[in-house]
């Protein structure tokens, strides 16, 4: 006759196996495709910027403008 500890251990193991099975059902994550064009102005992002900031989605000019707008919003609460 199993005691409560054995029952709990079996249940934990079954739940763990179910979680692992669900996780394995998802496709493996892939690296995002690097942006080659600015999402703000549509111009090509220079290779030097893409190399310096691999996750960059804006050119340097648009990124600077976005940071100024964000700072102003944090300060005033108005876009």
Place 2 in a pLDDT band, splitting at 50, 70 and 90: confident
Please tell me the pTM assigned to this model. Answer: 0.55
pLDDT confidence bin for 22, thresholds 50/70/90:
very high
Domain limits for position 23 = 4-76
Lowest mean pLDDT among 27-31, 39-43, 62-66: 27-31
Secondary structure letter of residue 76 according to DSSP: H
Q: Give the chain's domain count.
A: 1
Beta-carbon contacts of 49 under 8 Å, excluding residues fewer than 6 positions away, are 56, 59, 60
Give me the mean pLDDT over the 34-59 stretch.
93
| pLDDT over 90 at 58, yes or no | yes
């Amino acid at each position: 006759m199993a005691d409560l500890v054995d029952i709990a251990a079996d249940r934990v193991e079954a739940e763990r196996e179910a979680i692992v099975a669900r996780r394995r059902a998802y496709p493996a994550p892939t690296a995002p495709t690097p942006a080659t064009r600015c999402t703000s102005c549509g111009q090509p992002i220079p290779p030097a910027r893409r190399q310096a900031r691999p996750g960059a989605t804006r050119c340097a000019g648009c990124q600077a403008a976005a940071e100024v707008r964000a700072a102003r919003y944090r300060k005033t609460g108005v876009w």
